Structures are given as structure tokens and as C-alpha cells.
Structure 1
Amino acid sequence: MLRDLRELPRTVWPRAVVYGAVAAVLIGVPSDVIDTPIFGRPVETGWLDYVILLVTSALIGLIFAIRPAASGDAVTEAAVERQGTSTIWGGFVSFLAVGCPVCNQAVVALVGISGALSWWAPVQPVVGLAALALLVWTLRKRLRTYQAVACPLPTS
């Protein structure tokens, strides 16, 4: 996978930085990992929240920056669409992983505030790993799709 990333055209990397920054803002501002006066967070942000935000944003940026050329192939187009959906889900799971445990209304409704702090907060790093795994899997799929479209196999 690292070899495939090194072989990407230079035009992908500036787009990846822009998309990654947008992803970081979209995930970090509402979860108050990126501190703004708009949102508040009663539970302190941990160092792992910053790591998860940084890595997932970088992966989302790469996935969205790698766009296969239009092939007209319905199978390839469907695969690219599924990869976009997986990326959005990865971002959502990342948001759940870095968000304040007591600010998540669904968690508070299910287990209460004490349950959010004693049950959900310790599970959040595992949720972050799940987001990372989903995004790495999606990036691998995107790189395979890119290679298949950019360098199609010769037909006999």
C-alpha cells in the first residue's frame, strides 16, 4: 500500500491536504477537539482524541483526493460510490470516537450521564480504532480501483 501511495501523481497530494483539513474541521469543531466558542465540552479532550482526529482526517483526505478517471464501467463506478459511503461512515465513527462522552445525546439517553462516563468513555478508543480500520480498508480499495482504472489490464 505504501508503494501505491508513493506512485500517486503529484496532483493528488495538494487535494489530500485540502480534503483532510476540511475533514478535520467537520469532525473537530462540533466535537470541540478544535476549540471554538461555538461548541463546549464538559469533559477534557485527551491526547488520543487528537491522534485519532489527525490520522482519520489524513485518511479521509487521501481517499477523497484519489479520484479514478471516468471509465464508463458500471462496476468501477459502483465501487467508487461504495468507497465514498465507507469514507463518510469512517468519518462519522471517528466523530463518535473523539466526541465528548456526555455530549452524545444518544449515549446519554441509553445509559445516562454516569453510564456515558463509565461505559462509553473507555470504549471510545476502540471506536477510534474501528474508524481507522474502516478508513484504511477503504483507502486500500480506492488504491486498487485507481490502479485498475488508471492502468487497465490489456484485453486480448
Structure 2
Amino acid sequence: MISEIRSLPRSVWPRAFLYSAIAATLIAVPSDLIDTPIFSRPVAVRWLDYVILAITAALIGLILAIRPVPGAAQAAVERQGTTTIWGGFVSFLAVGCPVCNQAVVALVGVSGALSWWAPVQPVVGLAAVALLVWTLRKRLNTYRLAACPLPA
């Protein structure tokens, strides 16, 4: 997979950087990893939250930057876009404040969010990375098939 990423055209990398920055901003601002006056976070940010954010944002940017030839496996490309969005959402859950997540607080309460959800968040982050790596693999396969179609 690394050699396939290295063989991508140069035009992919500026788009990947731009999409990664957008993804990082969309995940980090509401989860208050980037401190803004709009959102606050009563629980301290862990160093692992920044690592998960960086990896998932880079993967999202790379997935969105790789554009297969139009018309080639269009249904597969749409599914990959959906799984990319889900990967970003799972990443947001992994780095977000455990007591700011209203669904978790409603289900298990504030003490449950701190004692149950907070320790599980790194595993959720690994799930987000795994989902995005799988999606990137599918995108690279779609790109390779569109760029070099098999003979009939």
C-alpha cells in the first residue's frame, strides 16, 4: 500500500494537504482540541487525542484527494465517500470530550462517561483509523483499476 501511495501523481498531494487541514479543523474545533471561544472542554485533552486526530485527518485527506476517472466504478467511489464520513465521525467520538457527548451522558451519566467512555475512546480511535485505512485501500484499488483497466 505504501508503494501505491508513493506512485500517486503529484497533483494529489496539495489536495490531500488541503482536505486534511479541513478534516482536522472540522474534528478539532467542536471537540475543543483547537481552543476557540465557541466551545469549551471540562476534561483535559490527552496527547493521544492529537495523535488520533493527525492520523485520521491525514487519511481522510488522502482518501478524498485520490480521484478515480469519472464513470469508473462510481458506486464503489460513493460507498468509499460514505465510509470516509463514518471514519471522520468515529474519529470525532474518539477525540471528543467524554462528558460533552450528550448521547453518552444520557446513556450512562457523567460518572459513567468518565469511568466507562473515556477509557474506551482510544479503542474507538483505533477503530476510526482501521476504518479509514480500509477505505484508503479500497480507494487505491478503485484508482488503480480506473487508471489501468484490465483487458477485456
Aligned mates of 1:141, 1:63 — CA distance in 2:
9
Q: In the alignment, what sits opposite 2:25?
A: 25
Give the C-alpha shift of residue 13 in structure 1: 0.3
* Total equivalences in the alignment: 152
Deviations 1:58-107 (A, max 9, x none): 0000000001011x34xx10000000000000000000000000000000
TM-score (norm. length: structure 2): 0.99
SS at match of 1:68: coil
TM-score (norm. length: structure 1): 0.96
SS at match of 2:61: helix
Matched, 1:112 2:73: no
Q: Give the root-mean-square deviation of aligned CA atoms.
A: 0.6
Moved over 2 A (4+): none
SS at match of 1:130: helix
Q: In the alignment, what sits opposite 1:153?
A: 150
- Structure 1, unpaired ranges of 5+: none
Matched, 1:59 2:64: no
Aligned mates of 2:52, 2:131 — CA distance in 1:
13
Identity of aligned residues (%): 78
Give the C-alpha shift of residue 34 in structure 1: 1.0
Aligned mates of 2:33, 2:139 — CA distance in 1:
28
SS at match of 1:40: coil
